[in-house]
């Protein structure tokens, strides 16, 4: 059986990615890996951290003709003085070149499986996009998309992503909730072969407000009623302060929140690195580790590779 390759974009060059990638490669996988990165940098970091991994350097022709070994690298030029430096704007062009190459391969249908390593949003996106989810949606002309933090026992999804709290209520609408929950339901049914039980969190504490306009009653309740009529197994809105208690969360496959930290804080507290970030709605399956570059842990060789390992395992089909 021929397994489609997994494209792995190394992400921020000065991060814990190389360490968790080297550790993840100790696990046996069936799909070939196409690593998009600077070969010199990866080898330099490998030597710095004391790992030994055989890299098969390839070009686009090799990808098109499927001349791949287990771990392949598509080289992207990057000038660096030492294996690990401080995260800065210096890597912006390098990352842009990496993404351009990855999207070119995905457009050619070489594979539909894509992982990107941690990215410094501050330095790479420079406020143009809220996150890599929005960046990739823009690059692929995707209008309807959603962020899913997936764990086999419980997943979460925020309706708004990396948005300051003062803007959240302005970005929530009946249509945005319906669109994103439909994407989630479609993913569970078609990819995971499971009809999900969905819980929706209110935007206000205890789903109550002293304001004249009550978002929970005026926006969330009508959206939930509409989706329920369409046959979705959905309930809410629920107060977020008690929803993640074990006795409450056990009834749901996924909990949908209105903003980023409302659902990502509890899921990371409960499962730590035992989750992956999946972008729904793209013309390919995009997964990333559920953590950032973690600059403080660079070179310590103590980082947990679990999230990247699970991302690779998820796409190893």
Q: Which pLDDT tens digit goes with each residue over 211-257?
A: 888 999 999 999 999 999 999 999 999 999 999 999 999 999 999 99
Strand partners, 287: 115, 278
Do residues 16 and 123 touch, judged by C-beta distance below 8 A? no
Q: What's the CA gap between 143 and 161, in Å, rounded?
A: 15
- Residues 152-180 have a mean pLDDT of 95
- Residues 70-88 have a mean pLDDT of 92
- Residues 72-101 have a mean pLDDT of 93
Buried b (16+ CB within 10 A) or exposed e, 40-70: ebbebbbebbebeeebbebeeebbeeeebee
Instruction: Pick the closest to residue 133 from 143, 150, 115, 145 (CA basis).
Output: 145
Structure tokens, 276: 């992956």
Q: What is the pTM of this model?
A: 0.92
Mean of pLDDT over the chain: 95
* Superfamily grouping for domain 145-279: Isopropylmalate Dehydrogenase (3.40.718.10)
The pLDDT of residue 87: 83
- Residues 141-162 have a mean pLDDT of 96
pLDDT digits 0-9 by tens, 279-307: 999 999 999 998 889 988 989 999 999 99
Instruction: Pick the closest to residue 222 from 145, 186, 230, 257 (CA basis).
Output: 230
Domain 1-142+282-317 matching CATH 3.40.718.10: the answer reads: yes
| Residue 145 pLDDT greater than 90, yes or no | yes
- Residues 1-30 have a mean pLDDT of 94
Do residues 287 and 114 touch, judged by C-beta distance below 8 A? yes
The pLDDT of residue 122: 86
- Residues 58-68 have a mean pLDDT of 91
pLDDT digits 0-9 by tens, 87-126: 888 899 999 999 999 999 999 999 999 999 999 888 899 7
| Residue 209 pLDDT greater than 90, yes or no | no
- Residues whose CB is less than 8 angstroms from the CB of residue 253 and which lie 6 or more positions away in sequence, other chains included: 154, 155, 188, 194, 196, 197, 198
Q: How confident is the model at residue 1 (pLDDT cuts 50, 70, 90)?
A: low
| Residue 261 pLDDT greater than 80, yes or no | yes
Q: Where are the domains of the chain?
A: 1-142+282-317, 145-279
Could you give phi then psi for residue 70, rounded to 5 degrees? -70, -45
- Residues 157-180 have a mean pLDDT of 95
Instruction: Classify the phi-psi angles of 127: left when phi > 0, otherwise alpha if psi is within -120 to 50, otherwise beta.
Output: left
pLDDT over 70 percentage in the chain: 100
Tell me, yes or no, if the two domains 1-142+282-317 and 145-279 fold the same way: yes
The pLDDT of residue 2: 81
């Amino acid at each position: 059986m021929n397994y489609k390759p997994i494209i792995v974009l190394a992400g921020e060059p000065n991060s814990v990615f190389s360490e968790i990638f080297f550790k993840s490669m100790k696990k046996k996988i069936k799909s070939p890996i196409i690593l998009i990165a600077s070969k010199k940098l990866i080898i330099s970091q490998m030597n710095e951290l004391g790992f030994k991994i055989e890299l098969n350097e390839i070009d686009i022709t090799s990808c098109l003709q499927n001349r791949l070994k287990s771990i392949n690298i598509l080289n992207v030029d990057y000038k660096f003085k030492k294996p690990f430096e401080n995260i800065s704007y210096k890597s912006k062009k390098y990352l842009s070149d990496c993404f351009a190459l990855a999207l070119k391969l995905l457009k050619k249908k070489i594979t539909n499986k894509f992982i990107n390593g941690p990215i410094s949003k501050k330095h790479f996106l420079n406020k143009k996009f809220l996150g890599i989810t929005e960046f990739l949606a823009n690059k692929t002309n995707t209008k309807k998309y959603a962020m899913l933090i997936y764990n086999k026992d419980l997943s979460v999804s925020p309706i708004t992503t990396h948005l300051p709290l003062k803007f959240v209520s302005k970005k929530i609408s009946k249509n945005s909730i319906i669109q994103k929950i439909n994407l989630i339901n479609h993913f569970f049914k078609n990819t995971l072969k499971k009809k999900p039980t969905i819980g929706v969190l209110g935007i206000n504490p205890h789903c109550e407000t002293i304001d004249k306009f009550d978002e929970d009653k005026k926006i969330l309740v009508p959206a939930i009623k509409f989706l329920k009529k369409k046959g979705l197994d959905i309930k809410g809105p629920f107060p977020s302060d008690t929803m993640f208690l074990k006795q409450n969360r056990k009834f749901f496959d996924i909990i949908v929140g209105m903003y980023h930290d409302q659902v990502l804080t509890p899921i990371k507290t409960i499962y730590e690195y035992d989750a992956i970030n999946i972008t729904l709605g793209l013309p390919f399956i995009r997964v990333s580790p559920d953590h950032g570059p973690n600059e403080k842990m660079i070179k310590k060789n103590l980082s947990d590779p679990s999230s990247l390992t699970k991302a690779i395992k998820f796409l190893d089909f």
